[in-house]
Structure 1
Amino acid sequence: MKRAFKYRFYPSPAQAAELARTFGCVRLVYNMALQARTEAWTLREERVGYNATSAMLTAWKQTDDLAFLNEVSSVPLQQALRHLQAAFTNFWAKSAKYPTFKSKKRSRRSAEYTTSAFRWRDGRLTLAKMAEPLDIVWSRPLPEGASPSTVTVSQDAAGRWFVSLLCDDVIDQTPATGAVGIDAGLDSLLTLSTGEKITNPRHERADRARLARAQRNLARKEQGSVNWAKARLQVARVHARITDRRRDHLNKLTTRLVRENQTIVIEDLTVRNMVTNHSLARAISDAAWRQLRTMLEYKAGWHGRNLVVVDRWFPSSRLCSVCGALAEPMPLHMRSWTCRCGQTHDRDVNAARNILAEGLSVIACGGGVRPQRESSRTGQSSVKQETQRATAGTPRL
Structure 2
Amino acid sequence: MKARYQFRFYPTDQQQQLLAQLFGCVRVVWNDALAICKQSVSVAFASTRKAKLPSNNDLQKLVITQAKKTDERLWLSDVSNIPLQQSVADLGIAYKNFFDSLKGKRKGKKVGSPKFKKKAQRQSARFRIGGFSIKGDEVYLAKIGNVKPIWSRQLPSAPSSVTVIKDCANRYFLSFIVEIEPVGTDAKNQSIGIDLGLKTFAVMSNGEKAISPDYSKKDRKIRKLQRKLARQQKGSKRRERTRIKIAKQHNQIADTRKDFLHKLSTKVVSQNQAIILEDLNVSGMVKNRRLARVISLQGWREFRVLCEAKSEKLGRDFRVINRWEPTSQTCSCCGYRWGKIDLSVRSVLCLNCNTTHDRDENASRNIEMVGMGHRHDLKRTGSDCQTTS
Aligned match of 1:390: none
* Distance in 2 between residues matched to 1:148 and 1:133, nearest whole Å: 17
Aligned AA for 1:38? K
Which is further off, 257-266 or 237-246?
237-246
* Distance in 2 between residues matched to 1:264 and 1:386, nearest whole Å: 23
Aligned match of 1:200: 212
Aligned match of 2:364: 352
Aligned match of 2:125: 111
Q: Residue 277 and residue 105 in structure 1: after superposition, are their counterparts in 2 closer, same or farther (change >3 A)?
A: farther
- TM-score between both structures, scaled by the size of structure 1: 0.86
Aligned match of 1:140: 153
Aligned match of 2:18: 18
Please tell me whether residue 340 in structure 1 is matched to residue 360 in structure 2.
no
Structure 2 alignment gaps of length 5 or more: 46-51, 380-389
Query: Aligned match of 1:60 in 67, 79, 84?
Result: 67
Tell me by how many angstroms 1:243 deviates.
0.8
Give 3-state SS (helix, strand or coil) of 1:182's partner: strand
8 A Cα contact 1:157 1:236, kept in partner? yes
Which is further off, 288-297 or 67-76?
67-76
Tell me by how many angstroms 1:154 deviates.
0.4
Tell me by how many angstroms 1:212 deviates.
4.4
Query: Aligned match of 1:181 in 193, 202, 206?
Result: 193
- 1:164-214 Cα distance to aligned partner (Å, 9 max, x none): 122233454321142100000012100001121211223x21423443454
Tell me by how many angstroms 1:157 deviates.
0.9
8 A Cα contact 1:84 1:99, kept in partner? no
Tell me by how many angstroms 1:217 deviates.
4.9
Aligned match of 1:51: 57
Aligned match of 2:164: 153
8 A Cα contact 2:330 2:339, kept in partner? no
List aligned pairs for 1:1-12, cutoff 5 A: 1-12=1-12
Aligned match of 1:33: 33
Which is further off, 324-333 or 109-118?
324-333
Aligned match of 2:384: none
Structure 1 alignment gaps of length 5 or more: 366-383, 388-397
Query: Aligned match of 1:282 in 270, 293, 296?
Result: 293
Give 3-state SS (helix, strand or coil) of 1:201's partner: coil
* Distance in 1 between residues matched to 2:69 and 2:278, nearest whole Å: 55
Aligned match of 1:369: none
* Distance in 2 between residues matched to 1:117 and 1:36, nearest whole Å: 27
Alignment length (residue pairs)? 363
8 A Cα contact 1:182 1:190, kept in partner? yes
Give 3-state SS (helix, strand or coil) of 1:116's partner: coil
Give 3-state SS (helix, strand or coil) of 1:322's partner: coil
* Distance in 2 between residues matched to 1:73 and 1:167, nearest whole Å: 22
Q: Residue 330 and residue 105 in structure 1: after superposition, are their counterparts in 2 closer, same or farther (change >3 A)?
A: farther
Aligned match of 1:254: 265
Tell me by how many angstroms 1:72 deviates.
1.2
Please tell me whether residue 122 in structure 1 is matched to residue 136 in structure 2.
yes
- TM-score between both structures, scaled by the size of structure 2: 0.87
Aligned AA for 1:267? E
* Distance in 2 between residues matched to 1:171 and 1:54, nearest whole Å: 37
Aligned match of 1:242: 253
* Distance in 1 between residues matched to 2:312 and 2:54, nearest whole Å: 36
* Distance in 2 between residues matched to 1:10 and 1:188, nearest whole Å: 37
* Distance in 1 between residues matched to 2:288 and 2:112, nearest whole Å: 27
8 A Cα contact 1:120 1:147, kept in partner? no
Please tell me whether residue 300 in structure 1 is matched to residue 311 in structure 2.
yes
* Distance in 2 between residues matched to 1:3 and 1:208, nearest whole Å: 31
* Distance in 1 between residues matched to 2:285 and 2:146, nearest whole Å: 46
Aligned match of 1:82: 89
Aligned match of 1:97: 111
Tell me by how many angstroms 1:21 deviates.
1.3
Aligned AA for 2:138? R
- 1:146-168 Cα distance to aligned partner (Å, 9 max, x none): 33220100011111111112223
Which is further off, 177-186 or 230-239?
230-239
* Distance in 2 between residues matched to 1:107 and 1:17, nearest whole Å: 17
Aligned match of 1:72: 79
Aligned match of 1:374: none
* Distance in 1 between residues matched to 2:176 and 2:209, nearest whole Å: 36
Tell me by how many angstroms 1:385 deviates.
11
Give 3-state SS (helix, strand or coil) of 1:355's partner: helix
Which is further off, 174-183 or 263-272?
174-183
Give 3-state SS (helix, strand or coil) of 1:188's partner: coil
8 A Cα contact 1:4 1:166, kept in partner? yes
Aligned match of 1:370: none
* Distance in 2 between residues matched to 1:321 and 1:105, nearest whole Å: 54
* Distance in 1 between residues matched to 2:377 and 2:88, nearest whole Å: 46
Aligned AA for 2:367? I
Tell me by how many angstroms 1:28 deviates.
1.5
Tell me by how many angstroms 1:271 deviates.
1.0
Tell me by how many angstroms 1:305 deviates.
0.5
Give 3-state SS (helix, strand or coil) of 1:264's partner: strand
Percent identity between matched residues is 37
Aligned AA for 2:324? W
Aligned match of 2:342: 331
Tell me by how many angstroms 1:81 deviates.
1.2
Aligned AA for 1:333? S
